[in-house]
Homo-oligomer: A and B are copies of this chain.
Amino acid sequence: MADPSQQLKTITFLIETAPRIGSKLTEVTASSAGARTQEQVRQRNLSEVLRRVHRDGMVSRAALGRSTGLNRSTIMDLTAELAAAGLVREGVPVGRGQAGRPSIVVMPEQGTLYGLAFDVAVDRLVAARVGLGGRVLERREAVRARAGVDLGDVVGVLAAFGRELVAGAGPDALCVGVGASYCGMIRRADGMVRYGPQLGWVDQAFGAELAAGLGLGLAVEVGNEAHLGAIAEHVRGVGSGVGDLIYLHGDVGVGGGIIVGGELLDGDGGYGCELGHMLVNPFDGRPCLCGSRGCLEAEVGEEALLEYAGRSGELVGREGIRAVVGLAGAGDDRARDAVDRVGDWLGVGVVNLINLFNPALVVFGGMLRDVYPGVAACVRARIDAHVLPVSREPVRLAVTALGDDTTLAGAAELAFARLLDDPLRTLAALRRPVPSRVRG
């Protein structure tokens, strides 16, 4: 498509000023760079275009040009190359009567490429085959007992689900990556669960075991559920386009993910953002599974709510929480009091987070999605009383847009991360025959 007579071909170089999801890129043009660099430039541009197609689902070439800053012919070259590799499809949307030139759109290829996403929550295991673009193509789910679940059991169930999903995809489809969300602290390098108190796991090699159980020759990228939830809500949820947000995920415990300038904060060792273990009640706190007392998760978790409502032992899990919030709304005094107490502590935690991070948005997910509507007024009251005006005025509060699939969607983002970083080379490596020995 480029003019072949052009001796000094101008290539366009995108420099990311930071490895930020969805950030605006700075453009620098360089003419006739050497083969190696030109190749690097092209790979980077392919990555950026594919990332946008993956994020937006269906996007016109014109919009790709605007958001990347690349010119029309460069975009055409890039999308053609991605289409030739089987990563995207191009087409003209039907049913839109248009005068003049038709607007070509680019969509992710969904039939032949997929990621596997797993979600280990306290009371359910989910596995899904997810298409590029983030659509769940097929899923398996198991409700499970909470206590005494060991690594082998969890991996056994998930690996069996995974193998079924791979078989269902057909022989021509290619799995491009595997991601998993886990309700605990994860060592990034190898998917080791350092600490997962809800399941009683300490130093369990979850990522490695699941990879072995799947037998696909692919590593399993594991992330903390709340970190992944934050990423998912940022990329394709209520926080889409919002650079600074906080995601609070309730399960039996409470976790959190913090996105600053489009990037997840995860601290020096990758274990930061333990929002659930903020000490909100320093002197008279409820005991927490972590061994401390007065942590946010101890004060606002499922157990606190059910106990305050006098329903401990009788009600349990998400259904129990919905029931108590429902009773409070219907005028039950004890339920109302329970919801208000939990809401007040949640407000204390949220106040601290807003004063610390000055976010544009706070998102409530997991069981907090059910709790939040009942406690919004309490949380707002704490914010009004304690948050500095410059941070208070702009902040919005919302529940997840992805519902209960927020953490699963985050795991899918992990599954696609390598492909999105370097599309053609990752694809070439995946299509190379796998040696008989499974690679970790």
User: Which residues of A does B touch, CB under 8 Å?
Assistant: 13, 15-19, 28-34, 36-37, 40, 185, 194-195, 243-244, 258, 260, 265-275, 277-282, 290, 292-295, 345, 348, 351-352, 355-360, 382, 385-391, 394
Contact = CB atoms under 8 A, between A and B. Distances in A.
A390 B203 CA distance: 11
B271 A244 contact: no
Nearest to A244: B268
Contact of A266 (B30, B33, B268, B358): B358
Q: Which 8 residue pairs are nearest across A and B when measured between Cβ atoms?
A: A267-B358, A272-B358, A244-B268, A31-B34, A18-B18, A292-B386, A277-B355, A30-B37
B388 A195 contact: yes
Contacts of A269: 358, 390-391, 394
Contacts of A394: 268-269
B279 A359 contact: no
A356 B272 contact: yes
Contact of A390 (B16, B185, B282): B185
B265 A357 contact: yes
A278 B37 contact: no
Contacts of A389: 195
A312 to B, nearest CB: 24
Query: In this complex, which of A19, A258, A266, A272 has the most chain B Cβ atoms within 10 angstroms of its Cβ?
Result: A272
Contacts of A260: 260, 265, 267
A275 B356 contact: yes
Contacts of A32: 32-34
A279 B33 CA distance: 55
Nearest to A270: B358
B386 A277 contact: yes
Contact of A277 (B30, B31, B272, B388): B388
A398 to B, nearest CB: 15
Nearest to A277: B355
Query: In this complex, which of A37, A278, A388 has the most chain B Cβ atoms within 10 angstroms of its Cβ?
Result: A388
A380 to B, nearest CB: 15
B266 A194 contact: no
Contact of A30 (B34, B274, B282, B358): B34
Contacts of A351: 279
Contacts of A356: 258, 272-275, 278, 356
Contacts of A280: 279, 282
A28 B390 CA distance: 42
B271 A391 contact: yes
Query: In this complex, which of A244, A274, A280 has the most chain B Cβ atoms within 10 angstroms of its Cβ?
Result: A274
10 contacts: A17-B18, A30-B33, A30-B34, A31-B34, A269-B390, A272-B391, A274-B358, A274-B391, A277-B355, A290-B388
Contacts of A357: 265, 267, 272-273
Given A358-B269, A358-B271, A352 B279 contact: yes
Contacts of A36: 29
Given A258-B356, A267-B391, A268-B359, 15 more contacts: A29-B34, A29-B37, A30-B30, A32-B32, A32-B34, A267-B359, A269-B358, A270-B358, A271-B390, A272-B357, A278-B352, A278-B355, A279-B352, A290-B388, A356-B356
